[in-house]
Amino acid sequence: MSTPITHGGGIAVAAAAFGGSPEDWLDLSTGINPCPVPLPDIPARAWHRLPDRHLVDEARRAARDHYGSGEILPLPVPGTQSVIQLLPRLVEAGRLVGVTGERVDMTDNRIAVTDDSIAVTDNKVAVISPTYGEYARAFASAGFAVDAVDDIAAIGAGHRLAVIVNPNNPDGLAWRAEMLIALHGRMKAAGGFLVVDEAFGDTDPALSLASRAPQLSNLIIFRSFGKFFGLAGLRLGFAIARGDILARFEDWLGPWAVSGPALSIAGSLLRSDVSAIRSRINERCTGLHAMLNGAGLRMAGGTALFTLVADARAGDIYTHLCRHHILVRKFDYAPNWLRFGLTPDPAADRRLGEALQRFER
């Protein structure tokens, strides 16, 4: 079993340590839109019945039109996490059966012919890092060797699969479509897969590869529904890929993987005009930036849904904010980083700003 990763959202833990009622904390530890879209009507049958074909098909068509995936009907999944868990199996299913060649183990300069050596050599994946930690965890847990690389150029023919979160979490780094398509070409030529996680792509649709997916086999795009709409509790994401890959995911998830209410809500909201949601997020982002600037903090990256701050005093700022019952995200692997999610309104901006000002003095 692998060690769980600490994600954002640990308000209860923080309140236990620093006091206050969890409801009174200002939670800036996630990348979720803090202004949830009002829920559309959910028909009683969506709760009562097993999610039927009609409900699934409606959500898929709405997702296709929203994400612009052309002839691909995105597959609804119970959170992107559920398909991240399946990626090791996808790579295993794609492996040649009956590997017979001997392999040189360069570590100690001898020919290694044990099954173990072959398995390790065949099961190497690359994750552009640092990023969302669950990719590395899922692959390591399934016995894969995970190369945390910092650039596309470091991804080579030895990798059976590569993961790029675009734009990236937590630094907001974005890759242009042409670079990803060139990488896809290299991966595919070697029989490998490219995963592009567009979990934070909704505020910058121009980055998306969704419209190219119908032409690119071995490309897998993940979209998150809950972050942009502020409905992360729903557990809904979409996988966009050509039919053979989606059929595998569907088979492995089994029937009725996504709840009826989630499908019903997606069918409505993905057909709605989202420009007001985007404007609101941008307005909230501007408010956050003003507070961070006012406190003299250096913004090192981010997306419209979160901002990364780089500061040598990050650990102290984190603790100081906790004392003011404000939770942000810190990173074990980068002690000078803090990630600030959006506040829900200008009053919360001021609350953050005042807490940060007190740290300055």
Residues 6+ apart with CB under 8 A from 280: 33, 35
> For residue 103, which of 88, 114, 90, 92 has the smallest C-alpha distance?
114
> For residue 241, which of 209, 271, 269, 266 has the smallest C-alpha distance?
209
Residue 182 contacts a copy of itself per CB under 8 A: no
CB of 348 to a copy of itself, least distance (A): 15
How many residues sit close enough to a copy of itself to count as binding (CB under 8 A)?
A: 58
DSSP β-ladder status, 75-77 and 103-105 = unpaired
CB of 2 to a copy of itself, least distance (A): 6
DSSP β-ladder status, 145-149 and 124-128 = parallel
The structure tokens listed for 75 are 């597959």
Q: Under rule CB under 8 A, which residues in 115-134 are in contact with a copy of itself? A: 134
Report DSSP letters for 292-311, one per residue.
HHHTTPEEEEEETTEEEEE-
Residue 12 contacts a copy of itself per CB under 8 A: yes
C-beta separation of 327 from 11 below 8 A: yes
Residue 101 contacts a copy of itself per CB under 8 A: no
DSSP β-ladder status, 161-165 and 124-128 = parallel
Residue 78 contacts a copy of itself per CB under 8 A: yes
User: Which of 240/262 has CB closer to a copy of itself?
Assistant: 262
Q: Which stretch binds a copy of itself (CB under 8 A): 46-54, 173-181, 185-193, 318-326?
A: 46-54
Q: Under rule CB under 8 A, which residues in 270-329 are in contact with a copy of itself? A: none
Residue 96 contacts a copy of itself per CB under 8 A: no
x/- contact string, 241-270, with a copy of itself (CB under 8 A)? ------xx--xxxxxxxxxxxx--------
C-beta separation of 340 from 309 below 8 A: yes
The residue ranges that bind a copy of itself (CB under 8 A) are 1-2, 4-5, 7-13, 22, 27, 30, 32, 36, 39, 44-54, 78-79, 81-82, 84-85, 134, 138, 141, 226, 230-235, 247-248, 251-262
